[in-house]
Structure 1
Amino acid sequence: MSNLHTLDILIIILYLVAMIGVGFYFSRKNKSSAQFTKASGKIPGWAIGLSIYATFLSSNTFLGVPGKAFGSNWNSYVFSISMPIAAWFATKYFIPFYRGTGSISAYSHLEHRFGKWARTYAVSCFLLTQLARMGSVFFGIAISLQALTSYSMASIMIVMGICIIIYTVLGGIEAVIWTEVVQGIIKTFGALLILYIIIQDIPGGIRKIVDIGLSQHKVSLGSFSPNLTESTFWVVLFYGFFINLNNFGMDQNYIQRYHTATSVKEASKSVWLCVYIYIPASLLFFIIGTSLFAYYQTHPDLLAQVKLTAAIEKLPSHSSGSKISAMSASLQPSDYGDKIMPDFMVKKIPVGLLGLIISAILSAAMSTISSSMNSSATVFSEDIYKRYFNKKSSEKQGIRVLYMGTTVFGLLGMATGLAMIGVKSVLDIWWELSGIFAGGMLGLFLLGMISKASKNTEAITATVIGALVIIWMTFPAIIPDRYAFLKSPFHKNMIIVIGTLSIFLVGVCISWIKAKITVKPA
């Protein structure tokens, strides 16, 4: 780590060793699959709430949100504003429902409702979502650490992946939750520390940041126009509501935590604690992004260096100096937003504090990835292995499958991160992929939960139509240019909204029509 002081390196190593040590500590308790997947239902609600908060506050938030705020405005913050609405539905309907089923899997009830295909479809969507989540987080952490070390992004992902796999495999969900409690605190402290350092180093301090932010329209929440083709306030609000509804209502990461609580009341408290902390915490990262924009506006020489570095990375290695200069001059803030936070850390964070902040970023990545690994392994064990391969597996076999599943999904998540190298915005790629994979899953779940009249045939038809709608919106290139009028006019964040509603409404309508045309015997 040639760009880091020895003290910073020692702090980072100490943090990584401590996380692995937590895994070894909790490994003594993992004698059954119930302990590995739900900690025998003995975790207090406040710890679960901090754990959920830490899962939300991934490195996509730590790096992607400031980069997004630097490059545009606070439009993406509307995502956080939508959380209380989704949380209300979760605590009123979803938590009592899942606690009542007694199944650790979030998707087993779909088989009872519609058949094996529904469960398999939801599991496939979930696992793809987790690979996208882990990949984007691996990619985000590699962007940051590459600026601080002499290693490639691939090397960083591999080393980090090995550490995360070790403590997640050893410790199970209990290790995941308690390390996330610590990681959530570390992340928040790290963000506050970065903001303090930025403000201290800007002539004029907070007043200067506010003046630049307002004059450059950096604090706008987006247009309030009812326009669904652009990232308006309403598009992000709809997207946020449906994604958060999916998180709290269909995502195994969260459903599994509901089962670790001692009661329904404690599980509900955990959701609201997460919301109360995350809304102001996520705003903190948008403030950091705007503050960084103001900082680099007041330090144009540093901004020129960032743009030059970004231009060099975008062009072939043999490009001439004039071409690099021209590219640098043409770059917009959105083109290099994800590089701003790492650049500031390298140049302005003091020795010792830098190690703490890197540890905070590592904790942001590790909490999300370990959670996804554990939940993916649980789904594989419950919904695939025990359902199709070994229905009467022993405890020893069950634990072995969970260990193997955790390892395999960790490696697959790492591979996904490697495949993402070169994307423009880590936050954009995560939002797009999560919307694609989650839309069909949420639509099917709502159909099964709300429309009691919908049966297997209606569900299959609605899911096929909904999947086609999602494909239509996701891949506009499949439609020839001469039929451009047939391409989706909607913003990509509307994929989960329209995909979910397509499945739900089509299923309801078919059920209604079927009921109307059915001839009852005299």
Structure 2
Amino acid sequence: MQLLDLLVFFVYMLGITVYGGSFYRKNKTASAFTLGNSSIPAWVVGMSIFATFVSSISFLALPGNAFLTNWNAFVFSLSIPVASVVAVLFFVPLYRRINSPSAYAFLEQRFGPWARVYVSTCYLLTQLMRIGTILYLMAIALNAVFGWSIITIIVVTGVVVAVYSLLGGLQAVVWTDAIQGIILIGGALACAVYLLFAMPEGPSQLFSIAAANDKFSLGSFSANLSEPTFWVVLVYGIFINLQNYGIDQNYVQRYLASRTDREAKRSALFGGLLYIPVSLLFLFIGSGLFAFYTSAAGELPAELQDATRSDRIFPYFIVHELPAGLSGLLIASVFAAGMSTISTSFNSSATVFLTDYYQRYINANASERTTMRVLYGASLVISILGIAIGIAMINVKSALDAWWQLASIFSGGMLGLFLLAAFVRTSNATGALVGMIAGLIVILWLSAGPLLFGDALPGIHLHSYLTIVLGTSVIFLVGFLISTWVPSRLKSADVPVK
């Protein structure tokens, strides 16, 4: 790395931290910390939703995945329009009408306290895994630059992000998200253009090499459910993105942070749809990296030719191939992607702890000062746990695969309960509870079955992406049937929501 690169990177880090912390003066109340006083412009909220989609998982793992295999991961992006349209038509109006900082108050209203506790717990587990995965990927990039210990980088980065997100609350999160989103798009575009013109025989060589090695493939179109085929990833993407838009605290807070219903809908649609071309850009970079090193325009060291290190190829390219200044911009872009998502997870997880646990079961009438202390304390604990998980991610084969599989397992029951509550008016607490139990059995069977029994028993050879699909479907169908057979004795309005 040249002096110019270091200057670009450290100016970015310092600038974003100071800018995020500058919102401290506007962050004196719980409403400001969790919802930004519902006064944030639509374009900022939209960019924040986009930045939440795009993390270091996208910036490093997608190119690494495309380098190793093909564009199968893009099928996930193709499912986003379905989820974003459903969000605009149903989810945004629902949450704006309920007007609670918690995404899970609605579930308590429909099914009782157990539903809110269960789903909020699943959410917190999912966010901890997300924070850890992103911290790990950010550390890979910086390790390639400076050679520093990955553990040290994870710890320092986690602390830096925790500081500005804690000081500035949601306003700091969304405004820095908007800036970081612009930076990461610019960095990715610059890298893609450089790859095109760095090929020995010109841009066409990149496409010919990638095409000859099937790098533009969207995956197999077979009906094999044990592999990540086109159909498996598409269905998985639909379910995960419905979950993102429907019951993810990160998104729900942004719906409520918008000034009007119309702006909230525009933000939700814009933020999701922008991710589609940007994810395609990341995959193109991965295919370009494959062509670049296959053409002998550059040479990978022996340790990076191992399939388990595919996530480290893009950082190596950034450091050793890009010209001075551009390397610094790309490293800053990687951190922009990661920091935006981590800060979002810190803020939303602290909000969940406050609204779904502390105010609900410990102190419903806490003063503003006490409430802010709880938010700060929760943010601190979440940051420590996320850092620990990031360290534990060091030896995984592919961060993208690990994240998708863990998200599918931990969040398997969340979407089913929400869809049952939102779209089946006759559903009741008994049906939801029985459906939840049935869904958990399916999730545990699909998750633990391969470890305990190998392929000896039916069903457990299904790909792990289908865990959320089958778990959600079982919860919804069983919940609907039981609710039909067992009349409800408890009306929604009888259940208090705070």
Please, what TM-score do these two structures have when normalized by structure 1?
A: 0.91
Q: Is the 8 A contact 1:66 1:338 kept in 2?
A: yes
Question: What is the match of residue 6 of structure 2?
Answer: 9
Separation in 1, partners of 2:111, 2:251: 23
1:449 to 2:422 alignment? yes
Question: What is the match of residue 209 of structure 1?
Answer: 206
Pairwise CA distance, 1:489: 2.3
Question: What is the match of residue 184 of structure 2?
Answer: 187
What does 1:59-458 correspond to in 2, within 5 Å? 59-299=56-296, 302-303=299-300, 305=301, 308-310=302-304, 331=306, 334-458=307-431
Separation in 1, partners of 2:434, 2:125: 22
Q: Is the 8 A contact 1:250 1:445 kept in 2?
A: yes
Pairwise CA distance, 1:477: 4.1
Give the counterpart of 1:57 among 40, 44, 54. Answer: 54
Q: Which amino acid aligns with 1:427?
A: L
| Count of residue correspondences | 488
Indicate the RMSD between aligned Cα atoms, in angstroms.
1.6
Pairwise CA distance, 1:301: 6.6
Q: Is the 8 A contact 1:158 1:414 kept in 2?
A: yes
Q: Which amino acid aligns with 1:387?
A: R
Separation in 1, partners of 2:119, 2:202: 50
Between Structure 1 and Structure 2, whose CA radius of gyration is higher? 1
Q: Which amino acid aligns with 2:217?
A: S
1:512 to 2:476 alignment? no
Q: Which amino acid aligns with 2:248?
A: D
Q: Is the 8 A contact 1:479 1:487 kept in 2?
A: no
CA-to-partner distance for each residue in 1:20-44, whole Å, 9 max, x for gaps? Answer: 2113311001121001111111111
Q: Is the 8 A contact 2:54 2:275 kept in 1?
A: yes
Give the counterpart of 2:28 among 15, 28, 31. Answer: 31
**Aligned in 2, Cα 1:494/1:165: closer, same or farther, shift over 3 Å?**
same
CA-to-partner distance for each residue in 1:195-226, whole Å, 9 max, x for gaps? Answer: 12212211222211111121111101112222
Separation in 2, partners of 1:120, 1:204: 59
Question: What is the match of residue 462 of structure 1?
Answer: 435
1:42 to 2:36 alignment? no
Q: Which amino acid aligns with 1:492?
A: S
Separation in 1, partners of 2:458, 2:451: 11
Question: What is the match of residue 490 of structure 1?
Answer: 462
Q: Which amino acid aligns with 1:472?
A: W
Separation in 2, partners of 1:367, 1:298: 35
Secondary structure (helix, strand or coil) at the match of 1:226 reads: coil
- Unmatched tracts of structure 1, length 5 or more: 311-327, 516-522
Secondary structure (helix, strand or coil) at the match of 1:229 reads: coil
Separation in 1, partners of 2:383, 2:12: 20
**Aligned in 2, Cα 1:391/1:339: closer, same or farther, shift over 3 Å?**
same
Q: Is the 8 A contact 1:26 1:174 kept in 2?
A: yes
Secondary structure (helix, strand or coil) at the match of 2:147 reads: coil
Q: Which amino acid aligns with 1:165?
A: A
Between stretches 396-405 and 221-230, larger displacement belongs to: 221-230
Pairwise CA distance, 1:514: 3.6
Q: Which amino acid aligns with 2:469?
A: V
Q: Is the 8 A contact 1:50 1:180 kept in 2?
A: yes
Q: Is the 8 A contact 1:42 1:261 kept in 2?
A: yes
Separation in 2, partners of 1:411, 1:351: 35
Pairwise CA distance, 1:487: 5.0
Q: Is the 8 A contact 2:430 2:483 kept in 1?
A: no
Separation in 1, partners of 2:108, 2:280: 40
Q: Is the 8 A contact 1:74 1:220 kept in 2?
A: yes
Secondary structure (helix, strand or coil) at the match of 1:302 reads: coil
Q: Which amino acid aligns with 2:465?
A: N
Separation in 1, partners of 2:451, 2:220: 30
CA-to-partner distance for each residue in 1:423-450, whole Å, 9 max, x for gaps? Answer: 0111111111111122201111111112
Between stretches 489-498 and 168-177, larger displacement belongs to: 489-498
Question: What is the match of residue 317 of structure 1?
Answer: none
Question: What is the match of residue 320 of structure 1?
Answer: none
Separation in 2, partners of 1:258, 1:514: 35
Q: Identity over aligned residues, as a percent?
A: 45
Separation in 2, partners of 1:405, 1:335: 35
CA-to-partner distance for each residue in 1:343-381, whole Å, 9 max, x for gaps? Answer: 111211122221111111111110000000000000000
Pairwise CA distance, 1:480: 3.5
Pairwise CA distance, 1:7: 2.7
Q: Which amino acid aligns with 1:491?
A: H
